[in-house]
Amino acid sequence: MVPIDDPIAERRLTVVDDPGRSVTVTIGRPVEAQPGEWACPFTIVGIPEPRSDRGLGVDGVSAVLNALHAIRHALEASGVRVSWEGGEPGDTGFPKLMHYAFGFAFSQRMEQLIDEEIQTLVDEKKASGGQGPAG
């Protein structure tokens, strides 16, 4: 494991089937690896095969986003069912990010579909006497 010298965030996850056990995700500060290529390092310890990797991108933000995507994927692939504080069992706390590989128009359409689904749930909640997501 390559240690992260300058961590910017850490999340401790509880293993659902073994609450005394935890998985720790540490995210490092993105750095410019070479002109036009940034890297955001991360480590995951507490899974069967600890992971030390990085998300790459054209700038620091895209490197962070790609690191978050890789973290979610690694946690899911580990087979260890975890939860984070405030989350439900199996919820890693690393949401699926919108993929831009198919272009901006595709991403906009997917975001619109998500927004429509959220509005449907809010409307159903209100119709049943609830107050919406926080209600």
pLDDT of residue 133: 60
- Residues in CB range of 88: below 8 A, 6 or more apart: none
Residue in the structure block whose two tokens are 């940034």: 38
* H runs (alpha helix) in the chain: 60-78, 104-127
Which CA distances in Å does 12 have to 1, 5, 67, 103? 17, 18, 17, 34
Q: Tens of pLDDT along 23-61?
A: 999 999 999 999 999 999 999 999 999 999 999 999 999
Q: Is the pLDDT at 2 greater than 90, yes or no?
A: no
